[in-house]
Structure 1
Amino acid sequence: MGEEGGGRSCGTTRELQKLKQQALEYYRENDVPRRLEELLNSTFYLQPADVYGHLSICSVVISTHFEVHENALPELVEAEEVERADAVSTAVRWVNETITEELRGIEPSNQAGVDQVLRIFFENKVQEDKERKELEKSLEDSTVPVPSPLTQPPPPPLPPDKKKGQKQGRRDTFTEKPILPPEPDEHVLCGSMAIGAVSLAVAKTGAMLDGNPLYLNIALLKHHQEQPAKLTLPLLMVSLVSCGKASPGKLNLMKELICIPHPGLTAKQGVEMLLEIQKHITKTIEMPPPPKTETKRGHNGGKRGQQQIIGKMSHLGCLTINYDTIEQPLLLIQGICANLGLELGRNLHLAINCAAHELMDYSKGKYEVMMGTYKNAAEMVDLYVDLINKFPSIIALIDPFRKEDSEPWDSIYDALGARCYLIAGTASKSISKLLEDGNIGVLKYSGLIIKHTNQTTMSDLVEITNLMDSKKHIAVFGSTEGESSDDSLVDLAVGLGVRFIKLGGLSRGERVTKYNRLLTIEEELVQNGTLGFTEEHTFFYLNEEAEKAAVAGELPEPLELIFPTEVLEESTRT
């Protein structure tokens, strides 16, 4: 977004407006209705040529950190749009006024050098922001009258008494305490997305000048410029349905029901299988309601005669449906798989994004798992244990508790850590905060969801994945909720060698383009003979304790990883 004379600036503006119009038409054609303001304010567009001042060879789009809020009040939406617009304009100003000049003379191939310049620039901006706030606070303190010493603050409320006869959790290994209030959101400096965008733009520029795909240059950065003999694809985490807090049914716990194809399948086979399952989900939802006189149970998990299942496409790329119990969506998938000749726990596995931070009712101090059904932390552990017992094909729970609930995290890890991945998404700190603290083990979990947003550079992504590898934590590379159509994050996931990639559902143009990119990379690696498969890409021994238990004969042997070819072909044809 550099300016080289009025003509260049005017031409660039016209080109940018044309690109924005093309993007809007693309979203409309792909059944992704968005108002133009949302599209423009939710992403930050940058051309590497604007940093280096020569012929444009590629561009990047980075999403802002703002979450997509379903059914939000109009005034809140309007206020957030203003904040997003300010964040984007500040990022543009940073690039135009300072970053462009500071990067002059640095070769695009010197990614570490570029990221160091960006890091120092951002640290200076953080310091400026801190000094500005301190000055504003001192001015406010000098004008605010001192309260009378006779004024006493109200006493803190007493913790609620435990109800008589309340059932104890089976695994209540922690003392029931008043819930901690939510931690304040990490401060995101306005304009910070300029750092992540420029770092990615430089990485793409360097890759194109070297004649390499982006994922290979990221792999070189990860492995200290030594080209790995093999590259592995991350395993797919694909959202099938959503039954979270914003869904029309009573169920709140399941913000995303996620499917993970078996590691023995190729990405293409996994996508084909899940497309078939998605097709049958849509058919089930479109079926007319059965006669009310019937009382038999159908494979959708509900009684015949219940209200018709309805669904709408979520911003996550999956159907939001109106279920009332935790079992219903699981039985829906189980029934469809049975009809297709697929077996949960063998052909594919499941994961649940619990989004616990959205379930907490602070007035009651409990999680509202279903409308009107509240559970404390100990009862939540029991719920998850029972769920895994009933559906052992569930091999991952994302955000089963809030980040403030450290003791429940310990308890559920002790109860399920050997049978199920416990992944922190929203419950984790940001990448920059984790790197600043140098500690990713604040909570007891199996892995983290990492995202490229705000001030996260390519070097930061390498550093955090190296740290997670050293701690044997699972890395899940995830897309943001307000996604763009830039497919670069797939290259980042492949180059970094993460275990899973979580892109949302197999719908909406901004997500489908990423799945297409993953299939393209798979084809390239197969043709080059560099597609690898490692034993780490399994999820039968979920941690060291489970592996020791298996050696001691306390757990069954893991399933065979590779299916016979004819079984795979039959599964994908069905």
Structure 2
Amino acid sequence: MEAGGRRARRREAAEYYRGQRVPERMEEALNALFPLSPGDLYGELANYLSKYSKAPVICKIVGRKVLDGVGQPTLEVEIYCTVKNYEKRICSTVMSFHSQIPENALPETIEAAEKERNDSVNTAVEWVNESLNTMLRDLEPTDQCEVDKMLGEYFTNKVEEKKEIQRQEEEEEEEAEATLALPPRSPSPATPPGKKKSAKSGKKSSVAERPIPPAETAEPVLSGSLAIGGTSLAIARAGATVSHIPLYSHIALLKRGQESPEEITLPLPMVTLLNCEKMSSSKLKLVKEVMLIPPVQLSLKQGIERVLDIQKEMTRLLESPGKMPGPQPADGKKGKAQNSGKKSLPQFLKRISHLGCLTTGYDDVEQLLLVMQAACSNIGLELGTDVYLAINCAAHELMDYDKGKYEILTGTFKSPDEMVAMYGELIDKFPFIIALIDPLRKEDREQWSNICCALGSKCYLIAEDAATCISKLKIDQNINTPMCSGVVLKYVNQTKVSDLIELTGILHGQRHITILGSPDGESSDDSLVDLAVGLGARFIKLGGLSRGERVTKYNRLLAIEEELAKNGNLRETKLEFVAFAEETQPENQLSDELPPPEQD
């Protein structure tokens, strides 16, 4: 009887395990232990086990030639990683190519530069697909420092190879000349930059004027250097992607040694409203760009909307000059300037600049500023209270080296010392101008010091041309620029993410402000915005509110603002100027904070 009972129980057990009741009972037990659905439970288990899986590593880097926003070739870098034993495309970045061709360059100069650019991009694609692809394989994309170190060493080797090739070519040329017994070549009789021709007979010359410093030799750009910057930025974006955080958060962590900031300040936009092109074959005039800066008390979204309103009114005025009311005389309020007489309206060109803004010509600076005042007044805004101006002077494009003076208007010349006095009068008359970019050449260091002491407590004096080559900016923990309020940094050529992190740390430690700037030849890649936010830049200079490659970046900035506000991490910025003349002033003491705008 007992044996029969055992057999019956075994038979019941076999039927139990053979039937469908096992998974049902298992699910009941799991639900009792973990009140989750099976799908959620398996997901939680996968997330738990993923902590113990191997970290993603780079398995492939792909470079290709693509077009930028103005139809010129540039570099795209694509990153693939091995994630849980599978090859996966992580991200890609498109580099912006920085053009150093002045707007009044000759056609043959432009043609030669375009050929050089095309060759450089082809070389960069070759570097990425061959050397860099092999060199960076199996590295973790989150290890930015190690990646940038290897990229820096690779670039240094390429520079040395180039120097060696040039040295050999020079030796071969000398040997060939010696073999042919050619006479040595005499130096060119052309006047070098910075030296004045002797005065012609019958013309007066000023003996009191000092010679200007010659223009510094432009730093040569190694063909293919775009591969270094493009790969570094692509790795940074890949590191953010595999860490499941935004790129700006990843950059902020890299800058702060993996310490997450409690609050983040958004950079204020310098929105280009007007691109003031030359109207003839003469040099550019004193103003290259007119930019609007919204007040800090507005949200970024409100500030952009205000700029758009001003842009619409400016377009209306410039297209219908007869309907524009004459500027009003000064009434004592900040931002109002006296009307020194009737001014004809600037000539308007009905097209959008490559900077994404309106183009216009003018006879003098006052014309532009008075039209700006009228446009703001028509929509109930006041310059200096509801919005501020920044002016890009691009003074390095104005110098006449034969005369040793700046040609600020056709036939109107001023010495560097006279330029300082002129800017002082301009800011006194139009105090709503709170930033001057490149008011002087970088070589006029004495005048930079003078203008900073005279105007540093009233506006920002920004160096852009002096900051073109980031690798030369820092020397022994110092900034190799003239005295200034800050610099415009652009992510181009062999710039690496680690370079920007180190450089902005030095700049901020020396009371300089940082402006992340957008190169002339832009792409639709919006990484620049995340870089500016993560690095803590004070301003961001993206061009105008037209053209897709420009608007994409403004949209990214708006998205970051919304995300930070939602998370409670958004901190209000401040606009403060440094009183350079007060040398005894403590380093952390700033002056002249701008007043808040009038509330509606």
TM-score (norm 2): 0.79
For 1:233-312, list aligned pairs within 5 A: 233-245=266-278, 252-287=285-320, 289=322, 297=326, 303=342, 309-312=348-351
Asked whether 1:105 is paired with 2:126, we answer no
SS at match of 2:95: strand
CA contact (8 A) 1:249 1:324 kept: no
Partner in structure 1 of residue 418 of structure 2: 379
1:204 to 237, 245, 248: 237
Partner in structure 1 of residue 407 of structure 2: 368
1:358 to 375, 378, 397: 397
Distance in 2 between the 1:261 and 1:341 partners?
15
For 1:533, the aligned partner's letter is E
Give CA deviations for 1:24-45 in whole Å, capped at 9, x if unaligned.
9xx7xxxxxx5xxx33x1x211
Partner in structure 1 of residue 530 of structure 2: 491
Give CA deviations for 1:394-413 in whole Å, capped at 9, x if unaligned.
11111111111112212212
SS at match of 2:229: helix
**Greater displacement, 234-243 / 299-308:** 299-308
Partner in structure 2 of residue 504 of structure 1: 543
CA RMSD of aligned residues (A): 3.6
Give CA deviations for 1:489-508 in whole Å, capped at 9, x if unaligned.
00000000011101111111
Asked whether 1:522 is paired with 2:561, we answer yes
Alignment gaps of 5+ in structure 1: 28-33, 169-174
Distance in 1 between the 2:230 and 2:470 partners?
15
Rate the CA distance shift 1:226–1:556 in 2: closer, same or farther, 3 A: closer
SS at match of 2:88: coil
Distance in 2 between the 1:149 and 1:132 partners?
23
How far the C-alpha of 1:259 sits from its partner, in A, is 1.2
Q: Could you tell me the percent identity over the aligned residues?
A: 49
For 1:409, the aligned partner's letter is W
CA contact (8 A) 2:458 2:592 kept: no
Distance in 2 between the 1:556 and 1:410 partners?
18
1:226 to 250, 256, 259: 259
Partner in structure 2 of residue 452 of structure 1: 491
- Between the two proteins, the alignment pairs up a number of residues equal to 522
For 1:132-171, list aligned pairs within 5 A: 132-145=165-178
Rate the CA distance shift 1:109–1:159 in 2: closer, same or farther, 3 A: same
Rate the CA distance shift 1:124–1:436 in 2: closer, same or farther, 3 A: farther
How far the C-alpha of 1:377 sits from its partner, in A, is 1.1
CA contact (8 A) 1:289 1:308 kept: no
2:75 to 35, 41, 44: 44
**Greater displacement, 440-449 / 494-503:** 440-449
Give CA deviations for 1:361-381 in whole Å, capped at 9, x if unaligned.
122221111112111112111
Alignment gaps of 5+ in structure 2: 1-58, 329-336
1:348 to 367, 383, 387: 387
How far the C-alpha of 1:334 sits from its partner, in A, is 1.1
Rate the CA distance shift 1:148–1:71 in 2: closer, same or farther, 3 A: closer
Partner in structure 1 of residue 249 of structure 2: 216
2:210 to 174, 177, 198: 177
How far the C-alpha of 1:73 sits from its partner, in A, is 4.0
Partner in structure 2 of residue 30 of structure 1: none
Rg comparison, structure with higher value? 2
Distance in 2 between the 1:528 and 1:307 partners?
46
SS at match of 2:462: strand
CA contact (8 A) 1:451 1:478 kept: yes
Distance in 1 between the 2:190 and 2:343 partners?
54
SS at match of 1:144: helix
Asked whether 1:539 is paired with 2:576, we answer yes
How far the C-alpha of 1:150 sits from its partner, in A, is 13
Partner in structure 2 of residue 116 of structure 1: 149
SS at match of 2:76: strand
Distance in 2 between the 1:305 and 1:343 partners?
22
**Greater displacement, 256-265 / 432-441:** 432-441
Distance in 2 between the 1:47 and 1:479 partners?
21
For 1:476, the aligned partner's letter is I
Give CA deviations for 1:178-226 in whole Å, capped at 9, x if unaligned.
2233222111111011011111111111111111010000000010000
TM-score (norm 1): 0.82
CA contact (8 A) 1:351 1:397 kept: yes
CA contact (8 A) 2:487 2:514 kept: yes
SS at match of 1:448: strand
How far the C-alpha of 1:441 sits from its partner, in A, is 4.6
CA contact (8 A) 1:241 1:258 kept: yes
Partner in structure 1 of residue 21 of structure 2: none
**Greater displacement, 517-526 / 438-447:** 438-447
Distance in 1 between the 2:99 and 2:82 partners?
25
